[in-house]
């Protein structure tokens, strides 16, 4: 039953042009476009463009998939009555939830390998097995954190239009304050302040460090990890409160 539901969910995702554009098409195309402009630039930690932005755009795809195809889907199902029909269907609600989570993980993992492959072909990105494995483990942890945060945020929406506008706006905010367009320290001061309150920015910094084998336990790392964990804990409380209101 789970396999059938997962196959159906993946098929439905592939038919959603809106999801495909924002999650699977835009990040890799932007990665290639920026590489043409800044491919020869060196970044913090003596890292090349590919070493800095390959993990960044993998994370951007993950954010897009989780927030659009997981979080927004929850609002759409709730506001269009699909959720009520699901509750009355013979398919267990837990099966549907697990299928949605697996769908997100499969699609984000596809994005992981797609961007990495583009980096190897277009920018001669090196393959280091240990760093690659550690990065993938970190990537899965961030997947779990984003699934919880996304579910909590979208549990607050009662209107599909409101959730759609939020999704589009937050995608732009994350692009600029998450370190996906240019280094945050080159941005205006107000953007740097906003970035400090953006969990995606902290995930991005950690992911770049792990990807390139530069992860260190220092005050900056502990601050980023602590902030992400705090966001997850707050999100769990929001989810618990939202579930109680629906009962």
Predicted pLDDT of residue 89: 62
- Write out the two tokens for 56: 């960044």
The mean per-residue pLDDT over the stretch 177-184 comes to 84
DSSP structural state of residue 43? B
List Cα–Cα distances, 74 to 3, 45, 202, 243, in angstroms.
20, 40, 26, 13
CA 206/CA 221 separation, integer angstroms: 7
Q: What is the pLDDT of residues 87-105, one digit of tens each?
A: 656 666 677 778 888 888 8
The mean per-residue pLDDT over the stretch 190-217 comes to 93
Could you give the 3-state DSSP secondary structure of residue 39? Answer: coil
Q: How confident is the model at residue 83 (pLDDT cuts 50, 70, 90)?
A: low
Whose tokens are 């609600």? That residue is: 93
Predicted pLDDT of residue 93: 67
CA 162/CA 233 separation, integer angstroms: 25
Per the CB < 8 A criterion, the answer to whether 100 and 73 are in contact is yes
Residue 38: Cβ-neighbour burial (10 angstroms; 0-12, 13-18, 19+): middle
The mean per-residue pLDDT over the stretch 65-92 comes to 72
Q: What is the pLDDT of residues 38-67, one digit of tens each?
A: 878 888 778 888 899 999 999 999 998 888
Predicted pLDDT of residue 90: 63
Which of 45-54, 68-77, 113-122, 224-233 has maximum average pLDDT? 224-233
The answer for residues whose C-beta is within 8 angstroms of residue 122's C-beta and 6 or more apart is: 32, 35, 50
CA 107/CA 105 separation, integer angstroms: 6
Q: What percent of the chain has pLDDT over 90?
A: 34
In sequence order, the β-bridge partners of residue 47 are: 43
246, pLDDT greater than 70: no
Average pLDDT, the chain: 85
The mean per-residue pLDDT over the stretch 4-20 comes to 76
What is the greatest pairwise CA distance in the chain? 57
Could you give the 3-state DSSP secondary structure of residue 47? Answer: strand
CA 138/CA 44 separation, integer angstroms: 21
Helix ranges (DSSP H) in the chain: 2-15, 17-20, 26-38, 49-64, 73-79, 82-88, 93-123, 129-154, 160-177, 189-196, 199-211, 219-246
Predicted pLDDT of residue 30: 86
244, pLDDT greater than 80: no
The mean per-residue pLDDT over the stretch 206-219 comes to 93
Least confident of 62-76, 123-137, 189-203: 62-76
13, pLDDT greater than 90: no
CA 108/CA 114 separation, integer angstroms: 10
CA 187/CA 82 separation, integer angstroms: 43
Q: How confident is the model at residue 37 (pLDDT cuts 50, 70, 90)?
A: confident
């Amino acid at each position: 039953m789970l396999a059938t539901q997962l196959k159906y969910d993946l098929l439905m995702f592939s038919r959603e042009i809106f999801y495909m554009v924002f999650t699977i098409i835009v990040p890799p195309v932007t990665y290639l476009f920026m590489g043409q402009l800044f491919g020869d630039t060196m970044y913090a930690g003596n890292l090349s463009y590919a070493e800095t932005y390959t993990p960044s755009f993998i994370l951007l795809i993950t954010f897009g998939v989780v927030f659009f195809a997981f979080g927004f889907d929850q609002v759409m199902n709730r506001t269009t009555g699909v959720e009520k029909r699901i509750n009355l269907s013979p398919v267990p609600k837990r099966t549907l939830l697990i299928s949605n989570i697996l769908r997100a993980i499969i699609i984000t993992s596809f994005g992981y390998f797609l961007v990495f492959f583009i980096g190897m072909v277009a920018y001669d990105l090196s393959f280091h097995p240990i760093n690659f494995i550690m990065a993938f483990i970190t990537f899965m942890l961030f997947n779990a954190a984003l699934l919880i945060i996304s579910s909590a945020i979208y549990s607050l929406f009662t209107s599909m239009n409101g959730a759609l506008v939020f999704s589009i706006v937050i995608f732009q905010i994350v692009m600029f304050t998450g370190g996906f367009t240019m280094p945050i320290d080159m941005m205006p001061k107000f953007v740097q302040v906003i970035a400090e309150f953006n969990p995606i920015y902290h995930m991005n910094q950690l992911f770049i460090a792990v990807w390139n084998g530069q992860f260190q336990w220092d005050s900056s790392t502990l601050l980023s990890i602590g902030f992400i964990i705090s966001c997850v804990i707050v999100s769990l409380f929001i989810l618990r409160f939202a579930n109680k209101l629906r009962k």
